[in-house]
Chain A
Amino acid sequence: GAVVSQHPSWVICKSGTSVKIECRSLDFQATTMFWYRQFPKQSLMLMATSNEGSKATYEQGVEKDKFLINHASLTLSTLTVTSAHPEDSSFYICSARIGYNEQFFGPGTRLTVL
């Protein structure tokens, strides 16, 4: 149980384009979903917290107009990187949580912006 999927697993795009990443909880309904980014050899950096049906809460320094988060249902959250640039290249990971219990992570999405 507690499986979280992400799609796509990797994406390469041109600078200036937008990229959408999906995060799904497959066998449970997640009250809260989280989006992280991780640079090579570094730990997880929380970008935003998303609750179903409400606006996401962004961490300090994360541009909400650039990283659009939609949490349309208890099993789906999406992260859209708008007008992506090479510096947005990173490993993006989502996680989902039931109540205040442990978070379960997706497999991650490797974004490369050319």
Chain B
Amino acid sequence: EDQVTQSPEALRLQEGESSSLNCSYTVSGLRGLFWYRQDPGKGPEFLFTLYSAGEEKEKERLKATLTKKESFLHITAPKPEDSATYLCAVRRSNYQLIWGAGTKLIIKP
């Protein structure tokens, strides 16, 4: 069965404390893995798309990586404004998206 699991459910960090969020997936025929950021009461904001194992993408303090079984969202020296829920989704061979439950990230000043 295709599924996406994100861990941890919640993560509290001090400002400047680097860490990683995990997105593990099992899917037949991966057609892309997506990372989004969602602030409370708002729609998700697109961050990255990764297509193949070994691929990496960066944006400011965020770097996303992909293997055949999981993706990591690395956050370096986070700031309070990076606090949000980070969502991962994978696209199957029929182009449907399967969403993870998200990781709520809290950065304390």
Q: Which of A2, A100, A107 contacts B43 (CB under 8 A)?
A: A107
Q: How large is the interface on A (under 10, 10 to 19, 20 to 34, 35 or more residues)?
A: 20 to 34
- B34 CB to nearest chain A CB (Å): 6
Chain B residues lying within 8 Å of A100, measured Cβ to Cβ, are 31, 91, 95
Q: How far is the CB of A27 from chain B (nearest CB, A)?
A: 14
Name A43's contact: one of B41, B42, B91, B102 (CB within 8 Å).
B102
Give bound CA distance, A90 to B37, whole Å.
20
| Residue total for B at the interface (Cβ-Cβ under 8 A) | 19
Q: How far is the CA of A2 from the CA of B97 in the complex (A)?
A: 19
Q: Does residue A102 face the partner (Cβ distance < 8 Å to B)? A: yes
Tell me the nearest residue of chain A to B43, going by C-beta: A105
Q: Is A103 an interface residue (CB 8 A)?
A: yes
What is B's interface to A at a CB cutoff of 8 Å? 31-32, 34, 36, 41-46, 49, 87, 91, 95, 97, 99-102
26 A/B residue pairs, CB under 8 Å, sorted by A: A2-B46, A4-B43, A42-B101, A43-B99, A43-B100, A43-B101, A43-B102, A44-B44, A44-B87, A91-B41, A93-B43, A95-B44, A100-B31, A100-B95, A102-B34, A102-B49, A103-B34, A103-B97, A104-B46, A105-B44, A105-B46, A106-B43, A107-B42, A107-B43, A108-B42, A110-B41
